[in-house]
Amino acid sequence: MLIHFLSRRCLTCIALAIASLCSTVAALAAAADAATCPPQATAPTREVLQRAQQLAADRGFLWRISRGGRDSFLYGTMHAGRAEWLALGPRTEASLARTGVLALEINVMDPAVQAALREATQGPSRRLSAELMQSLRDAWAAECLPLDNLQVGPTEFHVVQLAVAQAQRHGLFPLYGAESALLMRSLRTERPVVGLETVQTQLAMLLARSDEEAEAMVRDALADWRDPGAQHVLERLTRAWVRGDLKDLEAYADWCDCLNTPTEREAFARLVDGRNPGMADAIERAHASVSVFAAVGALHLIGSKGLPALLQARGFTVTRLF
């Protein structure tokens, strides 16, 4: 059951595509009371990009993975960020420049992927009790999200949109995530972009398997939305990424307050660890013919089931660069 992993506690677990969809919806939020609504991201101006370049630094986590005389790179991202992070740091830039393809969790530049995501946002909603639906409406109103949109699309997307709105209140926006910086740089240099997963794979991890599961997801997400302590988890996760603090990230289970029950641990196994073998397969296949810069959510890189460990077990020499 994907409950806490659609909350502020685990924002970087949210697939880039889903976060991007939520960003689009959030851009339509009512602006009647700007003082109480979450801030909205805007397309970065030349001045914003120049400022980002002045502040460019290596953030996140980077490994070199080598096999067969070829080097590729594995980069741990945050799917939401700040405008001043839109420039790559020098080691990130140099590593990307050595590769022939950028590999993201899914290729959001692919028209077929975009079409599949649009179709997914129009899918059926889950049945919720009247009481829970009213609580969800109240939360949406508090985040200035369009109430009419609650009638369209999967309930699970609505939960993600609440999480994105809360992240925006803390200055983190999907539009400014690490993948955006990598995409901008790759598009300028005409570097091909590929996906490590299909939209269907990510949706299978996101969508509830029954009305009862969806209702439980919404209840827990609303409880988390009301919890002022949840912001501290997001702040700590962001700080670990900005500083490249791998030790703290590896201790995530000790401080995230999101792996306390068998249900929560099963959700993590599905959403994070469960996807890693498929992404490792895709990286291995691509590396056979071209140097790859693979960028995935940072939580996919930790532990014995993380991508560095999986690729090392497949015969890659894995070296952490930062």
- Is residue 42 one of the residues assigned to a domain? no
274: in domain: yes
The pLDDT assigned to 203 comes to 86
More confident residue, 120 or 50: 50
Residue 37 in any domain: the answer is no
What is the structure's pLDDT at 34? 63
59's tokens:
């953030």
Residue 81 has, within 13 A of its CA and on its CB side, a CA count of 25
Specify if 44 maps to a domain. no
- For residue 252, being part of any structural domain is answered with yes
> What is the CB neighbour count within 10 angstroms for residue 32?
8
Three-class DSSP category at 74 = strand
The pLDDT, as a whole number, for residue 184 is 95
- In sequence order, the 6+-apart residues with CB closer than 8 A to the CB of 47 are none
Nearest to 67 by CA among 305, 275, 300, 283: 283
Q: How far apart are CA 244 and CA 62, in angstroms?
A: 9
User: Which percentage of the chain shows pLDDT scores above 70?
Assistant: 89
Q: Is 10's pLDDT higher than 90?
A: no
The bridge status of strand 292-297 relative to strand 193-195 is unpaired
Range of the domain at 70: 4-29+49-320
Going from the C-alpha of 313 to that of each of 23, 63, 191, the distances in angstroms are: 37, 15, 29
pLDDT confidence of residue 33: 53
Tens of pLDDT, residues 48-95:
999 999 999 999 999 999 999 999 999 999 999 999 999 999 999 999
Scored b (16 or more CB within 10 A) or e, 284-318 reads bebbeeebbbbbbbbbbbbbeebbbbbbeeeebeb
Cα(185)–Cα(29) distance, integer angstroms: 30
In a domain, 36, yes or no: no
Give the number of domains in the chain.
Answer: 1
Going by C-beta distance under 8 Å and a sequence separation of 6 or more, which residues neighbour residue 85? 52, 55, 59, 176, 178, 181
Q: pTM for the whole thing?
A: 0.89
C-alpha to C-alpha distance for 78 and 299, rounded to whole angstroms: 9
Does residue 174 form part of some domain? yes
17: pLDDT confidence band, cut at 50, 70 and 90? very low
Three-state DSSP state, 96: helix
pLDDT in tens, 205-264: 888 888 998 998 899 889 989 988 888 999 999 999 999 999 999 999 999 988 888 878
Give, for 67, the enclosing helix (H) or strand (E).
Answer: strand 61-67
With a cut of 60, say whether residue 178 has pLDDT above it. yes
pLDDT in tens, 98-116: 999 999 999 999 999 999 9
Assigned domain for 70 exists: yes
